Chain A
Amino acid sequence: MKLEKIKSVSRRDFLKVGGVGVASLAGLTSLRGLSTAGTEAAHQSEHDHAEDHGAMGTVGQVDHEANGFTPMDLLYDFDYGEVKEENGRTVREWQVVAVDREFEIAPGIYFPGWLYGSQSSAASRRAGRIVGQCPGPTFRCVEGELLRLHFTNASSHPHTIHFHSIHAATMDGVPGVGPGMIQPGGSFTYEMEAAPFGCHLYHCHAIPLKRHIHKGLYGAFIVDPDPEKYSGEEKEIAKSRNHQYPENQDVNEMVMVMNGFDTNFDGDNEVYAANSIAFAYMNEPIQIRGDQKQRLYLVNITEFDPINSMHIHANFFDYYDHGTTLQPTLKTVDTIMQCQAQRGILEFSFAGFEPGRYMFHAHQSEFAELGWMGFFEVIE
């Protein structure tokens, strides 16, 4: 792999993003209508419950508009970057920025984060400028492609991007190797071939590492398998996993990054969540069609706790640890655990299930009641 010359990308170029904004704004408005309806229903059921036991959960609503990203963005937005051909090879590029920004992680609770944003994320396209989000954008590509991540550090601290993938030492994004830590105002292009296929993760590896991760510099990194490399049944499975194939369109694909926030910096998280916002998918349940196959890319980046977990109620799933296999590594389970940086793919279906709300949460009850809890709402 060749070391790419550090590109000087002016920030103004980043901030000028085309006219996609207006169209997506309209989309956001209709989405908000949906969320309000869901919230009212949730309050109704909580009220019934409150007669005896009160109600677990937060009071009030997070201002997702002010955050610039919604729980549904984080769940459904795959950032494919910009694709082009170079000497017959597919090259995929992203413009990535690290910023300092405060955002709301639970109603009324603001966290002073360090966040990644990308020019091609849904939140940035809607805003017409790069929006720092937590977790960072879900970068998605296909195995074998050449990836270039043009990283600019617009934060007040040095940062890096460290990918959990196969790459050269100089592209590892750790202090003291290759470009080392990218200083504020500095930039660097990380270049690597997408390998291996699977559900991966990237995060800042600047020191002190613990603080840089827990401040919010992380995100999912998905490498789709290339069906051309497989045959028979495996080829079909690879097609279903690869976003460029129609077989993939039949599957409802979601991303959840399990994280936590130590708001008082005492080495213990006050808020846990899937995708940062406490109880987000409880206040706004995830709509699931009974006739559709479900695929969930699940990543654990929770700091301070050795493990995190996911449990789906009233259903079982197949699990692909790291997503690096086409056959499940665990079959028919309803709970899996992940250490920090462990990740995997969950495949399940609610076919034939009675419509209604099916809960999912960390099966560390403490994490669940501190925000890592939500609902799948199965609709006809």
Chain B
Amino acid sequence: MQKTETITTTRLPKWVLALLPLVLLIGLVAIFLAVNPLAVFTDAFPPLEELTIQRVRFPAAGQIELSVINGGPDPVTIAQVLVDDAYWQFAIEPTQTLDRLETATVALTYPWVKDEPLPITLITSTGITFGTEVEVAVESPPADSGTLLTYGLLGIYVGIIPVALGMLWYPFLRHIDRKWVNAILALTVGLLVFLFVDTLLEALEIAAEVPGVFQGVPLVIFGTLLTLGVLMAIGQRRGQRTPLSIATLIALGIGLHNFGEGLAIGAAFAAGAAALGSFLVIGFTLHNITEGVGIVAPLTKEKERPKLHVFVLLALLAGTPAILGTWIGGLAFSPFLAALFLSIGAGAILQVIWEVGKLLVNDARRSGQPAVSWLNFAGLTAGILVMYLTAFLVKF
């Protein structure tokens, strides 16, 4: 009855009905723009200014380059630049007045001192200041093949090598008892939980540097949740997972995490925030070696040993993103993209935790054992502890 009523009362075609609210909305916006009925609320306030120095580069000795974005609602005019509390002559491209979301490059000739901190402040036409503190001034890497090679090697050291080394435990894992394999899987869950927390915190930390308009924290939270949702939806379609597909997912999640790690390392080295030493590289190798164990642990459930190239591909999937990360972090770091990628990584890891956990629970159900046995719990704890303790070597 309701249906017939609908049919009789509507004479207009459906598309008109669909468009009607939009047309009215456009009309309302047009009226607001033309008449400005809310002027009383805005006239009483000075313009809101918000500038972010996204990146400070030192292209050569005596040269500084700033990349600035206007994240506020109103245009902002950069009137002067202060370096270490002194007015300094500068050139700005393309223009001194930045519209909303417009970016500019400020170039200065300034005798900065290598290895020393350097505060830089922009002062706008209204006298509001926006500053940044360079922790250690060092020459920024130029974008040439030498830099790509150096940073690429760094990515290999912290990404591919430790993962590959960890995977070499596979033959050993195949020959141990089932309950010990489950303990190793629980250890994998532990290290994944650590990586999830670590990635999320890193993402939130970088989100704080993202200009307000991009809403860094919601970006990270929804990036994480939507990634988790997308991966879960894909998983539902395929039905039951094979151990290999779970290993692939783990490798992908860890790869995304390593991408974030590469970003952080590349940006830190390029900004002089961390010294590149053997100690640090060895630290990353130790820290990430567990990741290799995590990837191959589900493969022990395969009836046959997978072929060698499978292992190579898994190692590359988990390790190569670290190389990409160091390149991007070192040469074109953007807080917005870094926060976004890290949140995707966090979501991917969360999904893998779910998958490995399911594997453990199903296995326990088949054998009539509790999923959270003391042994499994010990494995989980060991995974978190190993990651936590080896992180001492690489946290700066």
Q: Which A residues lie at the B interface, using CB under 8 A?
A: 46, 50, 52-60, 106-111, 261, 263-264, 270, 278-279, 366, 369-371
Contacts and interface: CB of A to CB of B under 8 A. Distances in A.
B62 A53 contact: yes
Contact of A366 (B80, B85, B109, B123): B85
B111 interface: yes
Question: Which are the 5 A-B pairs with shortest beta-carbon distances?
Answer: A263-B127, A54-B109, A108-B79, A369-B86, A55-B89
B36 interface: no
A106 B86 contact: no
B265 to A, nearest CB: 32
Contacts of A371: 87
Nearest to B81: A59
Interface of B: 62, 77, 79-82, 85-90, 96, 108-111, 123-129
A108 to B, nearest CB: 3
Contacts of B109: 50, 53-55
- Mostly helix, strand, loop or mixed at chain A's interface? loop
Contacts of B80: 58-59, 106-109
A54 B111 CA distance: 7
A106 B85 contact: no
A50 B81 CA distance: 16
Given A108-B77, A108-B80, A56 B86 contact: yes
A375 B109 CA distance: 23
Contacts of B86: 56, 366, 369-370
Given A109-B127, A270-B123, 5 more contacts: A46-B89, A58-B80, A106-B79, A108-B125, A263-B129
B120 to A, nearest CB: 13
Contacts of A263: 123, 126-129
Given A53-B109, A261-B127, A106 B87 contact: yes
Given A59-B80, A264-B128, A109 B85 contact: no
A270 B127 contact: yes
A111 B79 contact: no
Most chain A Cβ neighbours within 10 Å, of B77, B89, B110, B129: B89
Contacts of A55: 88-89, 109
Contacts of B81: 59
A147 B28 CA distance: 64
Nearest to A365: B86
A205 B309 CA distance: 84
A55 B108 CA distance: 9
Given A50-B109, A108-B77, A56 B87 contact: yes
Contacts of A59: 80-81, 89-90
A109 B123 contact: yes
Contacts of A278: 87
Contacts of B127: 109-111, 261, 263-264, 270
Contacts of B108: 54
B79 A50 contact: no
A59 B111 CA distance: 18
Contacts of B129: 263-264, 270
Contacts of A60: 79
A58 to B, nearest CB: 5
Contact of B89 (A57, A109, A270): A57
Contacts of B85: 366, 369-370
Contacts of B124: 109
A235 B242 CA distance: 109
Contacts of A270: 82, 123, 127, 129
A52 B60 CA distance: 12
A366 B85 CA distance: 7
A36 to B, nearest CB: 19
Given A108-B80, A263-B128, A56 B89 contact: yes
A353 B268 CA distance: 54
Most chain B Cβ neighbours within 10 Å, of A46, A53, A369, A370: A369
A205 B96 CA distance: 39
A270 B79 CA distance: 12
A53 B108 CA distance: 10
B27 to A, nearest CB: 39
A275 to B, nearest CB: 17
Contacts of B89: 46, 50, 54-59
Nearest to A266: B129
Most chain B Cβ neighbours within 10 Å, of A106, A111, A278, A279: A106
A281 to B, nearest CB: 15
B110 A54 contact: yes
Nearest to B87: A58
A55 B62 CA distance: 11
Contacts of A50: 89, 109
Nearest to B97: A108
A278 B88 CA distance: 12
A343 to B, nearest CB: 26
Most chain B Cβ neighbours within 10 Å, of A59, A60, A106, A279: A59
Contacts of A111: 127
Contacts of B87: 56-58, 106, 278-279, 369-371
30 contacts: A46-B89, A52-B62, A53-B109, A54-B62, A54-B108, A55-B109, A56-B89, A57-B87, A57-B88, A57-B89, A58-B89, A59-B81, A59-B90, A108-B77, A108-B79, A108-B80, A108-B96, A109-B80, A109-B124, A109-B125, A261-B127, A263-B123, A263-B126, A264-B128, A270-B82, A270-B127, A279-B87, A369-B85, A370-B87, A371-B87
B314 to A, nearest CB: 52
Contacts of A366: 85-86
